Amino acid sequence: MAKHKNVLPGFNLTLGYTLLYLSLIVLIPLSAAFIKTTELSFDEFWAVVTAPRVLASYKLTFGASLIGALINAVFGLLTAWVLVRYTFPGKKIIDALVDLPFALPTAVAGIALTAVYAGNGWIGSLLEPHGIKVAFTPIGVIIALTFIGLPFVVRTVQPVLEDLEAETEEAAASLGANRLQTFTKVILPTLWPALLTGFALAFARAIGEYGSVIFIAGNVPFVSEITPLIIITKLEQYEYASATAVAVVMLVISFLLLFAINGLQWWATRRNGSSH
């Protein structure tokens, strides 16, 4: 049975169409970015992608993305825990609203966060007397990147937490573990792959983010200018080759992250599969 000939029709048609459409929309256009950079010599390429202003933008983009993803790892785990383990009024609505950053257009998120965290905004006006400026500073970038990465950790951890069987926790308790020990020694190890996957997804999404950041960032060169904005600025000055050079650096990093995430997910499903 395992090696019988597949009798279903449509293989050539569907695979052919898939490859054609994938090539036309994704692969050929993406290859254009790599081909375009060959117009630059390696020294020119290196000078563009390591210019001080560009380096400062990497630092902000990767730093703020990392902090945002870390915030999401902690609070995403907490949110998933609360949604799976506890009951409280309005829980279903809150569960559905966690996906808001996936559904809300980034430009809307950007102006909304700016309105709330600006000096005269609802939250910004509470923080400013304490000397904390959020909007138009790198902190604003972190806020926006935390927002757009928020659902990832919750949605990767939630199903694993739901599948966790009470027996293992009971066994730990009956062997004398207190609740904190059970959490750190029994529950957390099971959640690790999902938590890491969610963290990596949030981080990857944050690196490329543009729409929600540019409104709240203030976009000051060397201070609050993200790398995607550098690409846009270069494009507006018709510096196509150098815009593309910076884009290629980001593409390579994104692709490496994609492979890392695929590896993590493979690890996660294998771990969950074997634990059942």
Partner 1 sequence: MSNTTSSQYASYHSKVSRSRATSEPAWIRWTLIITTLVFLSLFLFVPLLAVFTEALRKGFDTYITALTDSDALSAIKLTLIAAAIAVPLNLVFGVAAAWAIAKFEFKGKSILITLIDLPFAVSPVIAGLIYVLIFGLQGWFGSYLSDHDFKVIFAIPGIVLATIFVTFPFVARELIPLMQAQGKDEEEAGLVLGASGWQILWRITLPNIKWGLLYGVILTNARAMGEFGAVSVVSGHIRGMTNTMPLHVEILYNEYNYAAAFAVASLLALLALVTLVLKSFVEWQVARNASINEHSN
Site for partner 1 in 254-273 (CB under 8 A): 254-255, 257-259, 262
Q: Which residues, 98 to 137, sit near partner 1 by CB under 8 A?
A: 98-109, 111-113, 115-116, 121-123
Of 148, 188, 150, nearest to 168 by C-alpha is 188
From the list 47-55, 188-196, 217-225, 241-249, the region that binds partner 1 by CB under 8 A is: 241-249
Q: Which residues, 211 to 230, sit near partner 1 by CB under 8 A?
A: 211, 215, 228-229
How is residue 210 written in tokens? 């543009």
Separation between Cα atoms, residue 219 and residue 222, nearest integer Å? 9
Residue type for 91, please?
Answer: K
Q: Which residues, 174 to 193, sit near partner 1 by CB under 8 A?
A: 174, 179, 182
- The least CB distance from residue 158 to partner 1, in Å, is 12
- The least CB distance from residue 104 to partner 1, in Å, is 4
Separation between Cα atoms, residue 22 and residue 4, nearest integer Å? 30
Indicate which single residue of 54, 60, 141, 247 sits in contact with partner 1 (rule: CB under 8 A). Answer: 247
- The least CB distance from residue 147 to partner 1, in Å, is 5
Find all residues with CB under 8 Å of 173, minimum gap 6, and list them.
179, 182
Asked whether position 232 contacts partner 1 by CB under 8 A, the answer is yes
Of 70, 73, 69, nearest to 203 by C-alpha is 69
Identity of the residue, 210 or 267, whose beta carbon is nearer to partner 1 in the bound complex: 210
222 neighbors 203 (Cβ within 8 angstroms): no
- The least CB distance from residue 274 to partner 1, in Å, is 16
Q: Which residues, 64 to 93, sit near partner 1 by CB under 8 A?
A: 75, 78-79, 81-82, 85-86, 88, 92
Identity of the residue, 116 or 223, whose beta carbon is nearer to partner 1 in the bound complex: 116
Angstrom distances, CA of residue 31 to CA of 34, 245, 255 = 5, 13, 13
- The least CB distance from residue 164 to partner 1, in Å, is 9
Q: How many CB atoms lie within 10 A of CB 40?
A: 18
How is residue 77 written in tokens? 């785990």
Identity of the residue, 138 or 164, whose beta carbon is nearer to partner 1 in the bound complex: 164
Separation between Cα atoms, residue 39 and residue 59, nearest integer Å? 27
